[in-house]
Structure 1
Amino acid sequence: MDKGVRCVRWGYEINTSTPILTSISLLMKVLSYGRERKVILEAPLHDDHCVLANILAAHFISPSDPSRASAYIQAARPYVEHATTYEQKSFEVVSYLISEDRDDDMAFELHAGFLKKYPKDLVALKRAQILCFYSARPDLFLGLAQEVLPENKDEGYAYGMLAFPLLELGRMAEAEAAAKKAYEINRNDSWAHHCLCHVLQYECRFKEAVEFMEECSASWASLSSFMYTHNWWHVALCYLEGGSPIGKVSEIYDHHIWKELEKSDAVPPEVYLNALGMILRLDVRDSLDGFEDRLKILSDRLTDQACWYLEWHLDILTIWALTKVGETSKAQKLLDGLKFRTSRMNKKKRKLMQKGIRLGEAVYEYARGNYKQTLELLGPDFDAIDYKIIGASDEQIDVFGEIWCKALILNGQSSTAMEVIKKRLENRDGVPFTWRLLEKSYAMEGSQEAQSAAGKAMELEAYHFKSTA
């Protein structure tokens, strides 16, 4: 087919001889976290001269195969001069985004400028969302999402992307409204499901969250390994935080998280992230009984260094898991590797990621039972939210706040633990486990308030899932 000008899903022109990039389904798989996102790699096979085909393929493959991403960039470069303006700008922002020495602020500014000119490009907006997530800057992304919304009022994905920074900034009513709007436009939007669950979970509306998510779950079969297991992780966490029996968590872990690995196109590290996030929560709650074999099987998989250095969050959880099962030398090797990689970053990024290193060191000591060292590493004013730079949502990072509370109690600092736990209850007073921590702190102080805290925990445990079979 002769090369000619065609329009992509958003109405912007590209030079290509193939209709693959103009199909709605291709770009929608990116926005929907579809299982077949790798279809983006087929576009350069149909037209290896197409700048947009090569640059989108480069972005997709860059996290797992930087050298292959570079090859796509080089394949596109000779044709940039004669590409459309939209393609030229796409090449500029994506090639910088995946460059080894990028500055995150500059990468964001490039995307912001791009979206001023091409506000309907929701894949570019998704790239900016992910960039801001890993930069721990929901405030930056919120402004961008609001700016392009007038041009995307009928696009459900735009509202879903708007919902996430709102909830990350604690604007839960607005986040709920945006997520519901996305859901109204597309009831199969897994990101909208995810965002609404975040809100309900934060507000301790656990039963409502579980019922909503389980009702939506039939539409998740086509999702990527990450999104499928992550949505089920949220369901399991709602059961756990609401005080439901551990059996519900075990059932979800076995049938909807670990079982994902049986699929031929599963992406194991995406599954491991959610599996680890679940098991660490159980450990903090002293509920690993019956899960030790699962943790050992998972940890054996994590000795494969091909799973290392893909995600800071995954690496830190891996350090905990390997240490917990006695693989301390491997955990130390991973931690040393993170330190080495950090030392090679530019000064600005290196300074930011020192928090990631400290968190890795802290979970290493926590898993070894060295609670004094854990507290020294986290510091007296630890706030897990300050550590979101590892690439974790509020719910994902919160477990490290729970670890801090546990370490205070286990190190005998009951009075400090009481103050920390009370502050947690000011934000979320509907989590039974937090009241159990307060009960332990009071008991260590010999206070009769321990009985009152225990009563509150029992009341909440009975309340959240009282009518759930």
Structure 2
Amino acid sequence: MATDAIDLSISGGANGADAHLMRGVADLQCFIGDPVGAANAAIEADPDTVMAHVLKGYLYGLSTEPTAGPVVRAAHGAAVALPANPRERVHVAALGHLAEGRWHDAGRVLADLTGEHPRDALALQAGHQIDFFTGNAPMLRARIERALPAWDESMAGYHAMLGMRAFGLEENADYGAAERAGRRAVEMNPRDGWAQHAVAHVMEMQCRQREGIAWMRGNADHWTKESFLQVHNWWHLALYHFDLGETDEVLALYDGPIFGARSTIALNMVDASAILWRLHLGGVDVGDRWTPLAAQWAPHAGASAYAFNDMHAIMAFVAGGREEEAARLLAAQDEAVAGAGDNAGFTRDVGRPIARALHAFGRGDYAQTVRLLNAVRSRAHSFGGSHAQRDVIDLTLIEAAIRSGDRAMAGRLTAERAAQREASPMSGILRQRADAITAA
């Protein structure tokens, strides 16, 4: 029986399959390289390597791609038929939940697993991503901190433990500890894109725009090389410039590393929509940039796979004038609510009201936008994403309140934002606009 990089037993692993598996996990920990290719190579070398099938299933299942389901179910079907030790069987069970859209159940199973095996790097990695996609901020921190006493700097992948801890701390507003952990992780492995991004989140939340720009620019050669997180990290850089009102820089980043390659990966298109919509709210002329982005979102209109992605798809349909696709997506969300799996709840509780609010915004029905968004903003975390990503909901709500002439609502919202983000130039601009309504 083979073992992994920290001596956990692996069933199978012959003919170098164990090395391929470990390479896949290491790539995933940095968000670099080709972990899917590594999983496939492990399966080809020894099809009885159950954790290779599990790794492949996690990678597809956590992609949020609408076409990933059959691959995840096939990976689970292959894994469940293979000999496995007790630890691996728990992984297979978690993958089974994920294959059926039961994100919360998968996360709980993996938490139990790492309670018994705190050095299971893949269980921690997959569980952390599930916590992110389900908006479970307490577990983003707790899952990693419970396991950390079993780790030390001599162990392979320790940088990833620190990087995940950094992001969990940041999402729980422990910014000082988050930044220290993230910086240490990047020192240990400069290619750790998740740790790089955790520090970027800290600086975003603390409105340290110039420091954030320097942080991202100073390490770009490392976090961009062969990285499948690089579009998201470029988006973080664009956020700093957006808050400073430097729209030319934002558009240059959009036309270059954010959407220049016209990626059709859902999570990359999320970032493209997210930054263009922020400009759209501010009345910035973005030319015809919505047209190709909306066209790439169009195949997603017929099905709701993940409500958080739906929000960004409908941004493109609304701003890009694709009413037919917007209507199809709204209908698909109605079907999703009646379906199985956790996305039914994500959509019912948060995703569908937000999509309808954005659709109303596009029609100029700003009062309806305010009603819908104000009703869900306090629970918006439950459909996933980070504080920085979900900030677009508040920005849309504020803009709708201002455009609707709702003086009281605009005043309350902008005062709240100014208190939370005092050093943000954007906060000041929005407060001035709200005050102008009051004085009218």
Q: Determine the structure 2 residue equivalent to 1:270.
A: 267
2:301–2:325 Cα contact (<8 Å) kept: no
* 1:316-342: CA deviation from partner (whole Å, max 9, x where unpaired): 111122122221121011111012012
* 1:4-38: CA deviation from partner (whole Å, max 9, x where unpaired): x1111221112222323335422111111114121
Partners of 2:133 and 2:342 in 1: CA distance: 17
* 1:391-448: CA deviation from partner (whole Å, max 9, x where unpaired): 221111101101111111111112321121111111111111221111112122228x
Q: Determine the structure 1 residue equivalent to 2:42.
A: 43
Q: Which runs of 5+ in 1 are unaligned?
A: 448-469
Moved more, 40-49 or 83-92: 83-92
Shift of the 416–60 alpha-carbon distance from structure 1 to 2, 3 Å rule, reads closer
The question of 1:396 aligning with 2:389 is answered yes
SS at match of 1:18: helix
Instruction: Output the TM-score relative to the length of structure 1.
Output: 0.86
1:47–1:53 Cα contact (<8 Å) kept: no
The question of 1:311 aligning with 2:306 is answered yes
The question of 1:166 aligning with 2:164 is answered no
Q: Determine the structure 1 residue equivalent to 2:249.
A: 248
Shift of the 304–71 alpha-carbon distance from structure 1 to 2, 3 Å rule, reads closer
Choose 1 or 2 for highest CA Rg.
1
Shift of the 372–267 alpha-carbon distance from structure 1 to 2, 3 Å rule, reads closer
The question of 1:368 aligning with 2:360 is answered no
1:163–1:174 Cα contact (<8 Å) kept: yes
Question: Which residue identity is paired with 2:216?
Answer: M
Question: Which residue identity is paired with 1:233?
Answer: W
Percentage of pairs with the same residue: 22
Moved more, 182-191 or 300-309: 300-309
Shift of 1:349: 5.2
Partners of 1:218 and 1:348 in 2: CA distance: 37
Q: How does 1:64-83 map to 2 (within 5 A)?
A: 64-80=67-83, 83=84
Q: Determine the structure 1 residue equivalent to 2:199.
A: 196
2:209–2:244 Cα contact (<8 Å) kept: yes
Question: Which residue identity is paired with 2:119?
Answer: K
Shift of 1:60: 2.3
* 1:329-379: CA deviation from partner (whole Å, max 9, x where unpaired): 210111110120121136995377421110111011112211011122224
Partners of 1:413 and 1:306 in 2: CA distance: 32
Shift of 1:126: 1.3
Partners of 2:307 and 2:294 in 1: CA distance: 17
Shift of the 124–103 alpha-carbon distance from structure 1 to 2, 3 Å rule, reads closer
Partners of 1:347 and 1:172 in 2: CA distance: 30
Question: Which residue identity is paired with 2:32?
Answer: G
The question of 1:13 aligning with 2:9 is answered yes
The question of 1:282 aligning with 2:283 is answered no
2:17–2:46 Cα contact (<8 Å) kept: no
Question: Which residue identity is paired with 1:248?
Answer: E
Partners of 1:340 and 1:241 in 2: CA distance: 37
State the Cα RMSD in Å. Answer: 2.2
1:319–1:332 Cα contact (<8 Å) kept: no
Partners of 1:292 and 1:308 in 2: CA distance: 29
Shift of 1:173: 1.3
Partners of 2:142 and 2:148 in 1: CA distance: 10
How many aligned residue pairs are there?
A: 429
2:318–2:326 Cα contact (<8 Å) kept: yes
Q: How does 1:369-448 map to 2 (within 5 A)?
A: 369-379=364-374, 383=377, 386-446=379-439
Question: Which residue identity is paired with 1:247?
Answer: D
Shift of the 151–22 alpha-carbon distance from structure 1 to 2, 3 Å rule, reads farther
2:231–2:268 Cα contact (<8 Å) kept: yes
Partners of 2:123 and 2:54 in 1: CA distance: 12
Shift of 1:303: 1.7
Q: Which runs of 5+ in 2 are unaligned?
A: none
Partners of 1:103 and 1:267 in 2: CA distance: 24
Give the counterpart of 1:25 among 11, 23, 26. 23
Partners of 1:347 and 1:87 in 2: CA distance: 24
Shift of the 172–116 alpha-carbon distance from structure 1 to 2, 3 Å rule, reads same
Partners of 1:92 and 1:160 in 2: CA distance: 26
* 1:111-160: CA deviation from partner (whole Å, max 9, x where unpaired): 12211222112221111111112222110232221111112231111011
Shift of the 311–382 alpha-carbon distance from structure 1 to 2, 3 Å rule, reads closer
SS at match of 2:289: helix
Q: How does 1:113-124 map to 2 (within 5 A)?
A: 113-124=112-123
SS at match of 2:2: strand
Instruction: Output the TM-score relative to the length of structure 2.
Output: 0.91
Q: Determine the structure 2 residue equivalent to 1:257.
A: 258
Shift of 1:271: 2.3
Partners of 1:403 and 1:271 in 2: CA distance: 21
* 1:159-189: CA deviation from partner (whole Å, max 9, x where unpaired): 1101112111111112112112212221221
Question: Which residue identity is paired with 2:356?
Answer: E
Question: Which residue identity is paired with 2:241?
Answer: Y
Q: How does 1:288-327 map to 2 (within 5 A)?
A: 289=285, 291-305=286-300, 309-327=304-322
SS at match of 1:79: coil
SS at match of 1:97: helix
Shift of the 441–96 alpha-carbon distance from structure 1 to 2, 3 Å rule, reads closer
Partners of 1:36 and 1:6 in 2: CA distance: 22
Question: Which residue identity is paired with 2:273?
Answer: L
Q: RCO greater where, 1 or 2, for CA within 8 Å and sep 6 or more?
A: 2
2:346–2:382 Cα contact (<8 Å) kept: no
Shift of 1:69: 2.5
Partners of 2:301 and 2:54 in 1: CA distance: 25
SS at match of 1:58: helix
Question: Which residue identity is paired with 1:38?
Answer: V
Partners of 2:341 and 2:221 in 1: CA distance: 45
SS at match of 1:260: coil
Moved more, 209-218 or 33-42: 33-42
Partners of 1:309 and 1:222 in 2: CA distance: 32
Moved more, 205-214 or 54-63: 54-63
* 1:220-240: CA deviation from partner (whole Å, max 9, x where unpaired): 333444x11110000011011
